[in-house]
Amino acid sequence: MSEFILVLDEGTTSTRAMLFGLDGSFHGSAQQDITQHYPRAGWVEHDADEIWFRTLDCARQAIEKAGGADRIACIGITNQRETVVAWDKQSGNPLCRAIVWQDRRTADFCESLRSAGHEAEVQRQTGLLLDPYFSGTKMRWMLDNFEAVRAARDAGSLAFGTIESWLMFKLTGGAHLTDASNASRTLLMGLGDEGFEPRLCELFGVPTAALGEVVDNAGPFGETDAALFGQAIPITGLAGDQQSATIGQACLEPGETKATYGTGAFVLTNMGGDIPVSDHRLLGTVLYQFGGKRTYALEGSVFVAGSLVQWLRDSLGIVDVAAQTEELARSIEDTGGVTIVPALAGLGAPHWRAEARGVITGLSFHSGKAEVARAALEAMAHQTFDLAEAFAADGASWGKLKIDGGMSANDWMAQDLADFLDLTVERPEFVETTALGAAMLAAVGAGLYEDLPTAAKQMRGTLSRFSPHMEDGVRAERLARWRKALAAA
């Protein structure tokens, strides 16, 4: 009897295979790191073959834990969005390294399109801004800079895709498709379009023939090659990681909002069936699609969150493990005026300043590891506050905030968010809601539940709540320091 849902969770720094029961219970995982390549300042790359082989190894380990492939009812895939792979459909091999969502190498191309007056129309159609973050400009860069990519285009064998598309191709032995949530992050599909828009593809110089079919987020997308796991397993759920986390948090009604604190920080508010329009540099995106019908979200994307703590650990040696930041933050009353703007990869929403760089202000001889660590955690609330103001200005004020992701396990940070935002913050006991959302989608796609609300009711676990109690004067002083530091960045 099939008792488990297998989720392949393709993050920026690792790949995981996670086992869920049909009731949402977690039954273990296998995980491997993904090598980060930084060939130049602002460039970030992954080896697509490494992602595939490490994902395959993790999947096999998880299936063994489950007791064999016959115990797996279905597979869901969730992935780092915007990261682009170019591969040859005939050989199945990647043609160059994948360009990661954090990569800033196409900033000049984005500026040239912006200077030519294209941004307003691109935003109207796609909900996105002209920024290196998104996939389309990465595809163009690959075509301009790799002969192998151009040769595959000329031969008609070029495939472009985000990570879920790459894995679908490898798992099934040739299916080339992408789900609507990931497709909506490419700059190549209008929010109201069924598939990729030829005029947008022409603007960015990307051949439509190299792009996959746009499909729903749940359904029978194909089966794994039987040789991989001993028998074929249906793949029935696909979603970009932030959309998947929003589903995992059961933000299924208009106005419900979640924030995921992982490598970056991403806030999404469910906007229902109306295509969102932002006047404050937020993004419109597809939250999910069923039967061709779409539910949309308004999104604010922060590029650096957990990666700031990783930098404190790996580059500065301020902590040995990320969890030490909570202990250090609690050991002092305040940061002594230290403020960090974590623009190590530029500033995302609502600022969108690709050229911005990180700063630490307010340092004195009194400043030590504790002050810097606490300032790093405070930066999460500061960045989220900027997003809250932008969402409110776009008519999408938050009634409460549901948080998840690895950083959200930090109780000090969760309470600081509640205090600084002056909102109730809700956190599930199982904070890896990105994977849980993919499990919910796979369960619906496999017919195990009739719809997402039913799946969410059965599969979502218990919750913790954090209530605000910060004095207005303390909040105002921190906000003033943050804005002064932000100007310096």
| Contacting residues for 113 by C-beta, under 8 A, at least 6 apart | 119, 122, 130, 203
pLDDT value at position 381?
96
Q: What is the mean pLDDT of residues 177-202?
A: 95
User: Is residue 102 included in any domain, yes or no?
Assistant: yes
Query: pLDDT at residue 431 above 90?
Result: no
Residue 342 lies in a domain: no
pLDDT above 80 for 2: no
Distance between CA atoms of residues 407 and 79, nearest Å: 18
Residue 235 has pLDDT above 60, yes or no: yes
Residue 264 CB neighbour total at 10 angstroms:
25
Average pLDDT, stretch 434-449? Answer: 95
Lowest mean pLDDT among 88-97, 199-208, 313-322: 313-322
At residue 451, does pLDDT exceed 90? Answer: yes
Question: Is the residue at 164 inside a domain?
Answer: yes
Q: Is residue 257 part of a domain?
A: no
- CATH number of the CATH domain containing 177: 3.30.420.40
Query: Which position has the token pair 């598309």?
Result: 165
b/e sequence 58-78, b meaning 16+ C-beta within 10 Å: bbbbbbebbeebeebbbbbbb
Q: Contact 370/399 with Cβ under 8 angstroms?
A: no
Rounded Cα distance, 234 and 13, in Å: 26
Q: Give how many domains the chain has, as a whole number.
A: 1
* CA 39 to mean position of chain CA atoms: 23
The separation between the first and the last C-alpha atoms of the chain, rounded to the nearest angstrom, is: 57
**pLDDT-above-90 percentage for the chain:** 85
Q: Look at residue 430 in the predicted model and tell me its pLDDT.
A: 86
Structural domain of residue 224, as residue ranges?
4-241
Mean pLDDT across 322-335: 94
291: left (phi over 0), alpha (psi -120 to 50) or beta: left
pLDDT at 463: 84
**1 pLDDT tier (thresholds 50, 70, 90):** low
- Domain assignment of residue 394, yes or no: no
Question: Do the strands 234-240 and 257-261 form a parallel or antiparallel pair, or are they unpaired?
Answer: unpaired
Q: What is the mean pLDDT of residues 189-201?
A: 94
Are the C-beta atoms of 346 and 355 separated by less than 8 Å? Answer: yes
Q: What DSSP line would sit under 134-169, residue for residue?
A: SHHHHHHHHHHH-HHHHHHHHHT-EEEE-HHHHHHH
**pLDDT at residue number 263:** 83
Average pLDDT along the chain: 94
Q: Whole-angstrom Cα distance, residue 139 to residue 98?
A: 10
Quickly tell me which residue has 């086992």 as its tokens: 19
> Does the pTM of the predicted model rise above 0.85?
yes
Q: How far apart are CA 120 and CA 487, in angstroms?
A: 26
Residue 215 host element (H or E): strand 213-215
Is position 156 within any domain?
yes
- Token pair in block for residue 229: 């796991």
Six token digits for residue 481: 């320091």
Residue 215: which pLDDT band, with cuts at 50, 70 and 90? very high
Per-residue b or e along 426-463, where b marks 16 or more CB atoms closer than 10 Å to that residue's CB = bbbebbbbbbbbbbbbbbbbbebbeebeebbeebbeee
Neighbouring residues of 3: CB distance < 8 A, sequence distance ≥ 6 = 21, 22, 66, 71, 73
Residue 410: inside a domain, yes or no?
Answer: no
What is the per-residue pLDDT for 99? 97
> Is there a domain that residue 352 lies in?
no
pLDDT number for residue 81 = 92
